[in-house]
Amino acid sequence: MMKMKKNSIRWVTAALVMILMAGCSVGGTGGSGSGDAEPGKETLTFWMKKQMFEEQNQMIQERAKQFGEEHGVNVNVEFIAYEDFYPKWSAAIESGTTPDVSFFGYQEVGQFYAKDVLEDVTDVVGSVENTNGEIQDSLKTSVTFEDKLYGVPFWTESTALYYRKDMLQAAGYSEPPGTWEEFREMAKALTDSSKGIYGAGLGYGKGNSDAEWLTRAIIWSYGGSLDTEDGKNVAVNTPETLQAVQLIRDIFIEDKVTPPSSIGWDDSGNNKSYLSGQSAMIFNVGSLAATIKNDNPELYENTGIAMLPAGPKGAVVPGISNNLGIFKASANKELAKSFIEYMTDKAWYGQWVQNGAPLTGPIYTDLANESVWQEEKNKGFVDSIAHFAFLGYPAEYSPKAGEIYNLRYVNDVFQKMLLDSGFTAQQAVDELQSKIEAVYAK
């Protein structure tokens, strides 16, 4: 579900930095790039995450070039694959050669805030909102620490429920599940193992980031947590978390509505299962919708997309917040702030976001009402933004929460539970509590 799009948190060692430094750059320059910079002019450097849609990358290049021409400066844009960012950031911080403006996932904003290397951009966010309108609160929350913002939201990505319309209709359903209990019941009705069809395309492979995120979504929607209530005291072992874990255990062990191989799936497992017709319902971001639309129009027309089901506490969606930020070591901070304001100008930005729909979601509240986002297969993604929660929830993001995600404790414990029918949901919760307490105690 999220292999090609989830901004997973990467703590890399110095050894990895040295290995990857030589080859971590992807893409080229845009605007007045380093190869054609005009002598005597100030230069602004921008590191941008390479987008799935090439039209968006081209628009970034053209916009940066326009900024350079209007401000009489050189602009050097470098597109970088997400997995290559952390080595470059680490090397740049160490050498004092950070870019003036950089892409950051919200988790990197949190990590670099903790290292005291990011500029406070509260004033930039205020200026952007004064000019363009309100930025969605959930996106600002993810990069706010001690009442100050250290990233300017630039775009978002949402996880939604994908379902086969024909399979639901054949089982007598006219609407997708609205709650996790309804999801469970519908998955049972949709499963026909004799035909190799399963209602729930959920997986729990060791490195499966999908499982880590979706488990959190379910637990959060039941009022539980995998971190702390206040950022200090671990609060995993609660009745709410137990209820959510029991639900997941029952879906796999009691109901048997997941494909037999799903406990070993990597992130591509649910994609393949849905595309092959093996799974009737899965969870994914907008990249899969774009792939189906291009490669299998018939399946695309037969695909419904809706928000994640709700638990007793409502729907809670693991948020993906992509931001622009400024390192404290930037040599051109004021120019960098002007550049960020230029790149978030709503007239240009609205078109840039639309060219990435439904994967690239808007930061501005009113853009969610644009016609493109009200289309059947896009609405579920944009409606999810108001329900975002982030690592560390219900407290704010912390490096400890990121470390727990990286350690894949959820996958380890859930695999153990799902492979051993004698391992209870309570035992799983107890083990998670113990493992996560050890991280917070360090």
First to last CA, the chain: 32
User: How far, in Å, CA of 29 to CA of 64, rounded?
Assistant: 10
User: How far, in Å, CA of 388 to CA of 395, rounded?
Assistant: 13
Q: For the packed helices 239-249 and 425-441, what is the interaxial angle rounded to 10 degrees?
A: 130
User: How far, in Å, CA of 275 to CA of 262, rounded?
Assistant: 15
Distances 106 to 154, 178, 284, 402 between C-alpha atoms, Å: 11, 28, 19, 11
User: How far, in Å, CA of 210 to CA of 203, rounded?
Assistant: 8
User: How far, in Å, CA of 97 to CA of 99, rounded?
Assistant: 7
The 10s digit of each residue's pLDDT in 390-442 is 999 998 888 888 889 889 999 999 999 999 999 999 999 999 999 999 999 98
For residue 265, report the phi and psi dihedrals to the nearest 5 degrees: -65, 145
**pLDDT value at position 406?**
85
**pLDDT value at position 36?**
59
Please compute Rg for the chain using Cα positions.
22
Distances 128 to 71, 92, 122, 207, 406 between C-alpha atoms, Å: 18, 28, 10, 38, 33
**pLDDT value at position 398?**
81
What residues does 73 pair with on adjacent strands? none
CB 183 within 8 A of CB 309: yes
Helices (H) and strands (E) in the chain, counts: 20, 13
35 Cβ contact list (under 8 Å, min separation 6): 29
The 10s digit of each residue's pLDDT in 269-308 is 999 999 999 999 999 999 999 899 989 999 999 999 999 9
**pLDDT value at position 2?**
40
Predicted confidence pLDDT, tens digits, the chain (442 residues): 443 344 444 433 333 333 333 333 333 434 344 445 677 689 999 999 999 999 999 999 999 999 999 999 999 999 999 989 999 999 999 999 999 999 999 999 998 999 999 999 999 999 999 999 999 999 999 999 999 999 999 999 999 999 999 999 999 999 999 999 999 999 999 999 999 999 999 999 888 888 999 999 999 999 999 988 777 789 999 999 999 999 999 999 999 999 999 999 999 999 999 999 999 999 999 999 989 998 999 999 999 999 999 999 999 999 999 999 999 999 999 999 999 999 999 999 999 999 999 999 999 999 999 999 999 999 999 999 989 999 999 988 888 888 898 899 999 999 999 999 999 999 999 999 999 999 999 8
User: How far, in Å, CA of 390 to CA of 217, rounded?
Assistant: 10
String of b and e for 47-72 (b: at least 16 CB within 10 Å)? bbbbbebeebbebbbebbbebbeebe
The number of residues making up the chain comes to: 442
Is-cis flag, bond preceding 394, omega within 30? yes
**pLDDT value at position 37?**
63
